[in-house]
Amino acid sequence: MTQDPQRKLDEYGAEEMAIPEWRVIQKVGGDLAKELGASPGQFYNTINDQIADELNIIVVDIMTGRTRWGEEIKNVGPLCASMDARTNESIYGDDCSKCEFRLDSPWSADVAERRKKCCLNYTVLGIDLDHDYLPVMLRAHGISALPARQLITQLKMNRALRGEYFKAVVNVKSVAKDTPYGTAYALHPKITELITDKAKAEELRIESNRLLGAPIPLPEGRPEEEGEPLGFTPTGTPFYSEEERARLMGEEGLAQPAIVTPPVTTLPVAVAGETPKAGKEKGKEPTKVLDLDF
């Protein structure tokens, strides 16, 4: 009996998947998403270019990491990182517990301070209930790190779940936060429903187990810092695009620099044949004659 050819695709597991990532669009960055119609505060899927106002997911796992980017804003990988912050070991084998840049509460520091530190962050691996049960990944850094910890509390302390996290429907929205640098958008996850249908719960349990162990890569570039402006006008107003800069400069009356004409100083010119007379006032120097013969 002849066997059917075997597809390599059928042999691939979670460890060979590129998990789609949903990102919160901030006022800065996300140029491609904004070209596709996304607005700050919405979610953008990095693989299929979908845009959503909110997400409904099943949490498969939540991983803790650390990342240090350095103060310069460049679209490159981090200076240092830890793929599992609980091990206190960096990707270079260094002891994170002795690191001078370690910061365990990034939500309490401003953007400038976080740039200098190696910040705690969370990665949520889940199942997207709104989009055909596709795997999903959310990175919670900066001011979103605290909401990720709060989600851990919701899942761990819910007595009805008893560790069966695949039964919890988690709604994820973004909320606007006022910062010294402008409006920032942070994750806001909340358990909204517990799945009681046994068949659906079993399906989600199987899918959750399939995704466990999926590789979570380091971010390719620094995540868009929440609320960070491109610069400030001379009066201190932040702007987030060149168009906004031009508008603000116009509103502040600074679109064009004022043209100041310096005063013209007229020097006395001697008439031909005349000899200038010395000043009659006491202490006054005689008037100098311009030499016009070149």
pLDDT confidence of 255, banded at 50, 70, 90?
low
Whether residue 257 is contained in a domain is answered as no
Summary mean pLDDT of the chain: 82
pLDDT above 90 coverage of the chain, percent: 52
Residue 126 has pLDDT above 90, yes or no: yes
Please give the residue range of the domain that contains residue 176.
Answer: 57-124+141-224
pLDDT above 70 coverage of the chain, percent: 78
Question: Which candidate, 56, 59, 32, places its Cα nearest to that of 44?
Answer: 32
pLDDT score of 262: 45
Q: Residue 44's CB: how many other CB atoms inside 10 A?
A: 20
pLDDT score of 286: 52
Whether residue 30 is contained in a domain is answered as no
pLDDT confidence of 287, banded at 50, 70, 90?
low
Task: State the Rg of the chain over Cα.
Answer: 32
Distance in Å from the first CA to the final CA of the chain: 113
Give the strands of the sheet with 43-45, arranged side by side.
22-24, 43-45, 51-52
Tell me how far apart the alpha carbons of residues 261 and 200 are, in angstroms, rounded to a whole number: 79
| pLDDT digits 0-9 by tens, 9-32 | 888 887 788 899 999 999 878 889
Tally of domains within the chain: 1
Whether residue 285 is contained in a domain is answered as no
Residue 37 has pLDDT above 80, yes or no: yes
Whether residue 3 is contained in a domain is answered as no
Residue 143 has pLDDT above 50, yes or no: yes
Whether residue 266 is contained in a domain is answered as no
Mean pLDDT to the nearest integer, 199-225: 86
Whether residue 103 is contained in a domain is answered as yes
Whether residue 238 is contained in a domain is answered as no
pLDDT score of 254: 62
pLDDT score of 202: 96
Tell me how far apart the alpha carbons of residues 135 and 102 are, in angstroms, rounded to a whole number: 31
Whether residue 209 is contained in a domain is answered as yes
Neighbouring residues of 19: CB distance < 8 A, sequence distance ≥ 6: 125, 135, 136, 137, 214, 216
Residue 243 has pLDDT above 80, yes or no: no
